[in-house]
């Protein structure tokens, strides 16, 4: 019939059965194996985002996140995205084009942050370190004092090398120059203690 759209069958899969996922032991920093309790919760009935049980679950999730992050920050949120999405959200919302971001670069994620920030028009000043080794926090603090950036980015746990970066004194150094401290804790949160408020971290994600 003239004027009626015809759907092509070219990409239709014939004989497509149910999805089969093999049992796999995941030992990397992520993705990781999911607790049977979590899998069970994910199979429950769907409810709307305005329903009271959903709001209650979100409130409980925020409070549990405050516990694991050791913070009283009211803006503790669950993000429906990857760690990389959280990184970009921090940079987009906390920095303006032309502002200076000091980035500790001793692995893949420092380089990734540099790439994201540069694409958004942020001026990046790297604190270059050797891959596989932590950068001396005193060196970073001295760079903060001399550069006086708008923000400082540090990867607490560098999954590309397995290094846990000390944050000693960085929060105080940032406050001295009115800079924000942004910390990537994707692979450390829940594995080692992370004390967001005590360490004077302004923005943190995992």
pLDDT tens digits along 118-136 = 999 999 999 999 999 999 9
- Say which DSSP state 110 is in: H
State the chain's mean pLDDT as an integer. 94
pTM: 0.86
pLDDT bucket at 85, cuts 50 / 70 / 90: very high
52-69 as b/e: b if 16+ CB within 10 A: eeeeeeeeeebeebbeeb
Tokens of 155: 């990867």
List the one residue out of 37, 15, 34 whose CA is nearest residue 26: 34
Quote the percentage of the chain above a pLDDT of 90. Answer: 85
Residue 138, pLDDT > 70, answer yes
The angle formed by the CA atoms of residues 81, 86 and 87, to the nearest 5 degrees, is 140
Residue 28, pLDDT > 80, answer no
pLDDT of residue 126: 97
Quote the percentage of the chain above a pLDDT of 70. Answer: 99
Contact 164, 157 (CB under 8 A): yes
CA 158/CA 105 separation, integer angstroms: 10
Contact 134, 166 (CB under 8 A): yes
pLDDT of residue 14: 86
Residue 78, pLDDT > 70, answer yes
pLDDT of residue 149: 98
């Amino acid at each position: 019939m003239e004027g009626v759209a015809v759907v092509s069958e070219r990409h239709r899969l014939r004989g497509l059965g149910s999805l089969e996922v093999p049992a796999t032991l995941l030992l990397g920093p992520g993705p990781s194996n999911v607790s049977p309790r979590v899998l069970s919760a994910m199979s429950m009935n769907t409810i709307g985002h305005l329903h009271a049980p959903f709001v209650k679950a979100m409130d409980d999730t925020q409070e549990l996140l405050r516990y694991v992050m050791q913070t009283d920050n009211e803006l503790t949120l669950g993000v429906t995205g990857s760690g990389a999405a959280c990184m970009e959200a921090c940079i987009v919302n906390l920095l303006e084009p032309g502002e200076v971001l000091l980035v500790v670069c001793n692995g893949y994620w420092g380089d990734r942050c540099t790439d994201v920030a540069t694409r958004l028009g942020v001026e990046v000043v790297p604190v270059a370190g050797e891959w596989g080794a932590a950068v001396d926090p005193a060196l970073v603090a001295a760079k903060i004092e001399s550069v006086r950036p708008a923000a400082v980015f540090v990867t607490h746990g560098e999954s590309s090398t397995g290094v846990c970066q000390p944050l000693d004194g960085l929060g105080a150094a940032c406050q001295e120059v009115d800079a924000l401290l942004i910390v990537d804790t994707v692979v450390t949160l829940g594995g080692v203690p992370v004390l967001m408020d005590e360490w004077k971290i302004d923005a943190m994600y995992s």
